[in-house]
Structure 1
Amino acid sequence: MHDLAQVVRDSYPPSISTRPCHLFDRPSRVSSPWQQPSVKETNIFFGQYQPLSVIENWMRLLQSLFTTHVRLIQIGTSYEGRDIQALRVGVRASSDNPHKTIVVSGGSHAREWISTSTVNYVAYTFITAYGRSKDVTDLLDRFDFVFIPSLNPDGYVYTFEHDRLWRKNRQNTSLPFCTGLDLERAYGFEWSGDVNKDNPCSESFAGGAPFEAHEARQFSDWARNETDNNDNKIVAFLDLHSYSQQVLYPYAFSCTSAPPSLENLEELAIGLAKAIRTTNGEAYGVASACEGSVPDPVDKGSVPDPVDKGSIASADDQAQAKELRSQKGSGGGSALDWFYHELKVPYTYQLKLRDTGSYGFLLPSENIVPTGKEAFKAVEYLGKFIAHRKDIREST
């Protein structure tokens, strides 16, 4: 970037003290009961990246405005004591008829602001489309959607107050000047934190043991309780990240171990990429997570684009990606793999959002709405796909 400091400054929102009351505009009434949903372009909430305090107030307001199908829930608490909040969106006929659950999360890496804003956009579109869009209404009558804007609220706040490009959480380590654990390396399946266990300053430092990262433990405990004790079986998990425009499926830890349901995962992944492409014309690649992972900018080397416009990665690209991964370290301990293998969630994906590197983690706020529209179409497609799967319908 020609002027990195200016790009960083431009990514921050202006002061919210002078913003008008239509910050939380509800959509205008429409004549057709099944008009396709769209967030008002004048809704200033999606005009800029919002700090955590504004997001939390916004979530509380949505719960109060849409009492029939929105509940504000708590996933857990962060290392510094902040609530990890989520919106549960869906219409439950009775407590004796629990809904299957689709989880959409963002913000595991603090600097990936577009993931947090996109979760908010998708949640808002689902909420306001209920009763207006037949497709969305059918999905919310069938499923609960749990939208988690920021799994890493401490890190997210830190990016607003101190360091825009901070990645990890804010947990103490053995070195007082090297704070934070990488939530995307912290889960208990094929955990490989020993790769950099002696380097707490590493961007991908996972701690000394699986689930040492506080927020990862909180999230996994909530998810297991959701499935084991509340009968709200999680049937899909979509983890939003940036950047590189890819739809990634398990496994992240290895390119040599194929998931048992590989064909089903690929089928849906290709459908998600197509749903995105038909929205704004943006091409998202499709690959297993081990093939598609892109090294952090601080690392030497780069992984070539493993996908050509939505197709599966070629053998040469897979080999190059595997070699670079072996040099960089394992992708074990990911939420993607843990939900798929340990919690037995049949459809788990990482959706790496815009862009492909021009701005990276500093994606301008003008991309919030178009990225949100792409992600909404992907989540809507995911819900429709699962709704038509006989094995999902009949599972308990």
Structure 2
Amino acid sequence: MFSSRRKAAAVAAAACLALLAPVSASVSAEPAPTAQDPAIYTVPGTDSTSRTEINRTGAQVIGVRDGVATVEATPEQAERLRAAGFALGEGVPVSEALQRINRGQARPGDFPPGYEGYHTYDETVAELDQIVSDHPDIAEKSSIGKSFEGRDIPVLKISDNVGQDEDEPEVLFDCNQHAREHLTTEMCLRIANRFTDGYGSDQAVTEAVDNREIWVIPIVNPDGSAYDVESGEFQGWRKNRQDTGTDVNRNWGFKWGCCGGSSDDPDAEDYRGSAAWSAPETAAMRDFIDSRVVSGTQQIKAAIDFHTYSELVLWPFGHTQDDVTEGMTQEEYDRFARVGEEMAQTNGYTPQQSSDLYITDGDSLDWMWGQHKILAYTFEMYPANGGGLDGFYPPADVIEEETARNDAAVDILLREAGA
């Protein structure tokens, strides 16, 4: 759901792109890539084990489809992968890939042409404020804490008695832990708009708002998200802005750094930080979720953490390939799989355990279940395979369809929170 301004801008931008393409040569060129610049490669025939091995070299798997992994790697990392037997072809330098995406005249502080339908941090905050203004009886905005650079991390509560802490199951939807995954912010804004605009007219929405407390956090990583677009051109940035950056979704405290599913190299894309909770953004998320323990019982019963891309529905655990292990009984695993498969039937994603993608440790999915027994899922959104960095930057004209695609899955999770 676009705001009216964003919808108009997106339509205009789509028309302008056709005019910009013939004159793209006149746009000032990016600096030539250096010998150590990372590049994007495809690696065929991978599985969970081999993708974990790829990540452990310092390279980063950024997408997977039918066993073909899209990998971001420096030349040194690429040679290491080839020496280990991985079949890498010629890579596309990241700088070149970004130049192809960043078409047209840059507008500092905003998204590039063709992406006007996306919300910046400031626009996201304004959108939440407008929702509260339009629906003060059921919507309330606050902050769960501050980012490294001092930005508020906004949260919207939606409930029929929004000013009260009712004894109802709570459900959390959070987005944009990784900076460049802007489509996820639009996913959270759709949820926020749908469960406020539809109240009183849409039966499913009304029942959910009357019987649940819904929390929506559209931008967990506001500094990284803002940095990725502040020049008016995408930077391909993933982490927060703390020193060289911490991967916010490898900094959570459950099994932090345990299992080769994150890096201790500050320059790595999946750098886990100097210690668990060293990133203020993850610490703020922890404190918020911990605060929902009332009289010894966690009120948040279910959650979805939205990411891009590969079109997957993932459930715990990420740190081990075992289904049944410490902290996960067969009955609990079967419930995760049943609900995950039901949600995947509605959106066409592939359902699987998180570690079937590759091993991760210190992520929110494992912590939410391992620490609080929250029925927590990660959705990797559209596209199924972007072919490279462009997978993180789908044009604005897909926002409506690709966020609406998850409506039924969101409804299923809200239902399941009361089970």
Normalising by structure 2, what TM-score?
0.69
d(CA) in 2 for partners of 1:47, 1:108: 21
Q: Which residue of 1 aligns with 2:23?
A: none
Q: Is the 8 A contact 1:11 1:49 kept in 2?
A: no
d(CA) in 2 for partners of 1:12, 1:87: 34
Matched, 1:383 2:414: yes
Matched, 1:284 2:377: no
Q: Which residue of 2 aligns with 1:81?
A: 150
Query: What does residue range 59-70 of structure 1 map to in structure 2 within 5 Å?
Result: 59-70=128-139
Q: Is the 8 A contact 2:180 2:236 kept in 1?
A: yes
Residue 239 of structure 2 aligns with an amino acid whose one-letter code is K
Q: Is the 8 A contact 1:197 1:208 kept in 2?
A: no
CA drift of 1:349 comes to 0.1
Q: Is the 8 A contact 2:178 2:307 kept in 1?
A: yes
d(CA) in 2 for partners of 1:69, 1:13: 39
Mean Cα displacement is larger for which, 351-360 or 7-16? Answer: 7-16
SS at match of 2:172: strand
- The equivalent position to 2:267 in structure 1, one of 201, 204, 208, is 201
Residue 322 of structure 2 aligns with an amino acid whose one-letter code is T
CA drift of 1:122 comes to 1.8
Query: What does residue range 164-243 of structure 1 map to in structure 2 within 5 Å?
Result: 164-172=235-243, 179-192=244-257, 195=260, 198-228=264-294, 233-243=299-309
SS at match of 1:342: helix
Where in structure 1 are there 5+ consecutive unaligned residues? Answer: 18-45, 173-178, 277-282, 293-324, 390-396
- Alignment deviations for residues 284-339 of structure 1 (CA, whole Å, 9 cap, x no partner): 000000102xxxxxxxxxxxxxxxxxxxxxxxxxxxxxxxx4xxxx4111100100
- The equivalent position to 1:269 in structure 2, one of 308, 327, 340, is 340
Instruction: Label 1:67 to 1:98 Cα distance change in 2 as closer, same or farther (>3 A).
Output: same
Query: What does residue range 1-396 of structure 1 map to in structure 2 within 5 Å?
Result: 4-10=97-103, 48-92=117-161, 95=164, 97-162=166-231, 163-172=234-243, 179-192=244-257, 195=260, 198-228=264-294, 233-258=299-324, 259-260=328-329, 261-276=332-347, 283-292=348-357, 325=358, 330-345=359-374, 347-358=375-386, 359-387=390-418, 389=419
d(CA) in 1 for partners of 2:340, 2:105: 33
Q: Is the 8 A contact 1:275 1:381 kept in 2?
A: no
d(CA) in 2 for partners of 1:230, 1:9: 50
d(CA) in 1 for partners of 2:338, 2:116: 34
Instruction: Label 1:229 to 1:368 Cα distance change in 2 as closer, same or farther (>3 A).
Output: farther
Instruction: Label 1:226 to 1:385 Cα distance change in 2 as closer, same or farther (>3 A).
Output: closer
d(CA) in 2 for partners of 1:12, 1:67: 39
Residue 207 of structure 1 aligns with an amino acid whose one-letter code is G
d(CA) in 2 for partners of 1:11, 1:253: 42
Q: Is the 8 A contact 2:109 2:229 kept in 1?
A: no
CA drift of 1:7 comes to 4.3
CA drift of 1:58 comes to 1.2
SS at match of 2:197: helix
- Alignment deviations for residues 234-257 of structure 1 (CA, whole Å, 9 cap, x no partner): 000100000000000000111125
SS at match of 2:376: strand
CA drift of 1:362 comes to 1.6
SS at match of 1:192: coil
d(CA) in 2 for partners of 1:109, 1:75: 18
d(CA) in 1 for partners of 2:215, 2:165: 19
- Alignment deviations for residues 19-39 of structure 1 (CA, whole Å, 9 cap, x no partner): xxxxxxxxxxxxxxxxxxxxx
Instruction: Label 1:15 to 1:191 Cα distance change in 2 as closer, same or farther (>3 A).
Output: closer
Number of aligned residues: 311
- Alignment deviations for residues 127-159 of structure 1 (CA, whole Å, 9 cap, x no partner): 101001111101100001111110000000000
Q: Is the 8 A contact 1:92 1:99 kept in 2?
A: no
d(CA) in 1 for partners of 2:223, 2:323: 34
Instruction: Label 1:189 to 1:215 Cα distance change in 2 as closer, same or farther (>3 A).
Output: same
CA-atom RMSD, angstroms?
A: 2.6
Q: Is the 8 A contact 1:77 1:218 kept in 2?
A: yes
- Alignment deviations for residues 261-281 of structure 1 (CA, whole Å, 9 cap, x no partner): 0111111101111122xxxxx
d(CA) in 2 for partners of 1:145, 1:93: 10
CA drift of 1:88 comes to 0.6
Residue 131 of structure 1 aligns with an amino acid whose one-letter code is G
Residue 203 of structure 1 aligns with an amino acid whose one-letter code is E
Q: Which residue of 1 aligns with 2:65?
A: none
- Alignment deviations for residues 144-191 of structure 1 (CA, whole Å, 9 cap, x no partner): 11111100000000001145310000112xxxxxx1100111111111
Where in structure 2 are there 5+ consecutive unaligned residues? Answer: 1-39, 41-91
SS at match of 1:189: coil
- Alignment deviations for residues 177-226 of structure 1 (CA, whole Å, 9 cap, x no partner): xx110011111111117956651000000112111111101110111012
CA drift of 1:375 comes to 1.9
Normalising by structure 1, what TM-score?
0.73
CA drift of 1:78 comes to 0.5
